[in-house]
């Protein structure tokens, strides 16, 4: 391969663009390189279009200057049109400017119809070349932003039903957490959120993002517990077209889509050691490499992680990497279970009643004294998520404006001391017990058990395998 790459000298460039020039004329390549290396971020030159695939796979190219003729004596431009079509088949958003020494209006029109951005005659005036490159750079940047927004929109559709974002509560533990958030949220510190299932880890993650300097950027929620191990890399880091059988187009991963914003990795304790190593590499280098590519792409994200698993115990058992734990828990938040929050239960219940009364077009509900007493003495193994589901059902099923104990439909077995979950129980043991109870209750129906636990079927299957149930 006969190619050359140059970057501009210290002092910067006019355009933040990488330009690939393909021409079989050494004088043309030299002339373009000498001029453009002062104007753009990077200049790559190559004499043969046969090297296009290799160059595009190794470099982040924004603009391609492509000669129309390569065979000696050729002037019809057919080669240029062939390679134009080839480049756009790799990525239809590439900005290609065709070059030729033979002015032909019909050829230019055909090239534009095929997807070329512009057409320039050789020899060119430097001012004309710069104006063409400048316009192409703006178009490329616009296309990249549009493509990223489209990918973000597609990836976030399932995350748009996130619901309640405000932290409701007056318990001392909640007040302390709110004070911590005031200090932590405006920074870019990595945050690890710990707590039982349903305690509101996702809500706290949203609040951190919403009060950060990145609040107007993307918040990307990734449920690691529902990710198949084989899909981990492609989902988080993306893949190139042809990387595997169904990879019909380039696709950025969640880290790229979250660039400039926040990425929330939920259930990080479920990652296997090999996947932990891959994640650690990305966090240390702040770069991702798509499957099927060799080039690294820089990413700038704020990291928030969460789990209900005892990571320190897992480190001691060599099932979780200590260096990864150090990387993710610059600040650690431990969310209290609902049973330890006292009258916050009623504050949350009233909040949910107001939300669901509005949602289902019903008059605002209130709780009877007996219903309040039941809510305060129930053990809430599913925490805030369970309370939310109980109140939603009660609002739907209640006939009057007052919600009674019958409307709550809570299991009496969970009021007894024998069935209460002891506060000192390890999170893993507690989770296993909850999973087993849900499966027993629904007689092995995974869909119903997963719905009660607030999990996807895939996430529940992972827990069944983990706990040997």
Would 169 be classed as within a structural domain? yes
For residues 61 and 86, membership in a common domain is answered with yes
DSSP for residue 229:
G
For residues 117 and 253, membership in a common domain is answered with no
Asked if residues 55 and 44 have their Cβ atoms less than 8 Å apart, the reply is: yes
What mean pLDDT comes out for the span 416-424?
A: 42
* DSSP state string for 168-204: ---SHHHHHHHHHHHHHTTS---EEEE--TTS-HHHH
Last residue of one domain, picked from the residues 316, 334, 352: 334
For residues 124 and 98, membership in a common domain is answered with yes
Would 76 be classed as within a structural domain? yes
| pLDDT score of 154 more than 60 | no
| pLDDT score of 159 more than 60 | no
For residues 109 and 201, membership in a common domain is answered with no
At 410 the pLDDT is 85
For residues 9 and 138, membership in a common domain is answered with yes
pLDDT tens digit string along 370-391? 999 999 999 999 999 999 999 9
At 143 the pLDDT is 76
Q: How far apart are CA 324 and CA 224, in angstroms?
A: 15
Would 54 be classed as within a structural domain? yes
Last residue of one domain, picked from the residues 309, 334, 359: 334
Would 53 be classed as within a structural domain? yes
Q: How far apart are CA 157 and CA 209, in angstroms?
A: 18
299's CB contacts (< 8 A; 6+ apart) are 255, 256, 258, 259, 282, 286, 287, 288
**H or E segment at 49?**
none
Distance from chain centroid for Cα 467? 28
Would 296 be classed as within a structural domain? yes
For residues 173 and 296, membership in a common domain is answered with yes
For residues 84 and 183, membership in a common domain is answered with no
At 4 the pLDDT is 54
**What is the strand order of the sheet 302-307 is part of?**
219-223, 262-266, 302-307, 191-194, 331-334
For residues 59 and 104, membership in a common domain is answered with yes
Would 374 be classed as within a structural domain? no
181-185, 256-260, 370-374, 416-420: least confidently modelled range: 416-420
For residues 193 and 260, membership in a common domain is answered with yes
Last residue of one domain, picked from the residues 334, 367, 387: 334
For residues 315 and 456, membership in a common domain is answered with no
Domain enclosing residue 82, as ranges: 3-145
User: CATH number of the domain that 324 lies in?
Assistant: 3.40.50.300
For residues 197 and 139, membership in a common domain is answered with no
50-54, 104-108, 374-378: least confidently modelled range: 104-108
Would 407 be classed as within a structural domain? no
- At 143, is the secondary structure helix, strand, or coil? helix
For residues 300 and 227, membership in a common domain is answered with yes
Q: Dihedrals φ, ψ of 100, to 5°?
A: -155, 150
Q: What is the mean pLDDT of the chain?
A: 84
Q: How far apart are CA 309 and CA 291, in angstroms?
A: 30
Q: How far apart are CA 216 and CA 205, in angstroms?
A: 15
Q: Which of 13, 15, 46 is nearest to 28 (CA)?
A: 46
The confidence band for 307, taking pLDDT boundaries of 50, 70 and 90, is very high
Q: How far apart are CA 108 and CA 377, in angstroms?
A: 79
Q: What do you get for the CA distance between the two ends of the chain, in Å?
A: 58
For a pLDDT cut of 70, what percent of the chain falls above it?
87
Q: Which of 404, 416, 415, 409 is nearest to 372 (CA)?
A: 404
Q: How far apart are CA 380 and CA 214, in angstroms?
A: 34
- At 468, is the secondary structure helix, strand, or coil? coil
CA angle 111, 54, 281 (to 5 degrees): 125
pLDDT tens digit string along 216-269? 899 999 999 888 888 898 999 998 888 888 888 888 999 999 999 999 999 999
CA gyration radius for the chain?
29
Would 273 be classed as within a structural domain? yes
Query: Domain tally for the chain?
Result: 3
């Amino acid at each position: 391969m006969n190619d050359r790459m140059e970057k501009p000298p210290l002092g910067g460039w006019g355009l933040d663009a990488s330009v690939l020039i393909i021409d079989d004329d050494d004088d043309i390549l030299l002339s373009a390189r000498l001029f453009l290396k002062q104007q753009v971020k990077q200049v790559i030159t190559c004499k043969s279009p046969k090297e296009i695939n290799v160059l595009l796979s190794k470099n982040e190219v924004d603009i391609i200057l492509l000669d129309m003729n390569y065979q000696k004596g050729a002037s019809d431009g057919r080669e240029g049109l062939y390679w134009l079509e080839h480049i756009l088949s790799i990525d239809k958003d590439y900005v290609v400017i065709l070059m030729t020494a033979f002015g032909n209006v019909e050829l230019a029109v055909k090239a534009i119809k095929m997807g070329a951005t512009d057409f320039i005659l050789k020899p060119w005036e430097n001012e004309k070349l710069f104006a063409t490159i400048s316009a192409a750079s703006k178009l490329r940047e616009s296309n990249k932003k549009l493509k990223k927004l489209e990918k973000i929109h597609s990836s976030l559709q399932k995350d748009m039903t996130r619901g309640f974002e405000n932290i409701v509560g007056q318990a001392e533990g909640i007040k302390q957490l709110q004070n911590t958030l005031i200090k932590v949220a405006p920074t870019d510190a990595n945050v690890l959120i710990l707590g039982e299932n349903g305690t509101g880890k996702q809500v706290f993650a949203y609040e951190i993002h919403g009060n950060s300097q990145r609040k107007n950027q993307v918040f990307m929620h990734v449920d690691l517990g529902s990710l198949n191990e084989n899909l981990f890399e492609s989902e988080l880091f993306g893949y190139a077209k042809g990387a595997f059988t169904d990879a019909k187009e380039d696709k950025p991963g969640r880290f790229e889509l979250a660039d400039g914003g926040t990425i929330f990795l939920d259930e990080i304790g479920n990652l296997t050691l090999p996947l932990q190593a891959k994640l650690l590499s990305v966090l240390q280098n702040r770069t991702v490499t798509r499957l099927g590519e060799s080039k690294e792409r820089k990413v700038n994200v704020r990291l928030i992680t969460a789990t209900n698993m005892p990571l320190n115990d897992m480190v001691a058992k060599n099932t979780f990497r200590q260096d990864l734990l150090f990387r993710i828990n610059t600040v650690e938040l431990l969310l209290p279970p609902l049973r330890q929050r006292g009258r916050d239960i009623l504050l949350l219940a009233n909040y949910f009643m107001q939300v669901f009364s509005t949602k289902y077009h019903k008059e605002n509900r209130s709780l009877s004294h007996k219903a309040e007493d039941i809510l305060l003495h129930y053990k809430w193994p599913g925490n805030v998520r369970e309370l939310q589901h109980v109140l939603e059902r009660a609002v739907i099923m209640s006939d009057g404006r007052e919600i009674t104990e019958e409307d709550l439909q809570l299991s009496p077995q969970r009021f007894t001391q024998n069935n209460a979950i002891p506060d000192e129980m390890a999170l893993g043991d507690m989770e296993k017990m909850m999973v087993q109870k849900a499966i027993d209750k629904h007689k092995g129906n995974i869909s119903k058990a997963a719905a009660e636990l607030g999990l996807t079927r895939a996430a529940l299957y992972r827990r069944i395998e983990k706990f040997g149930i």
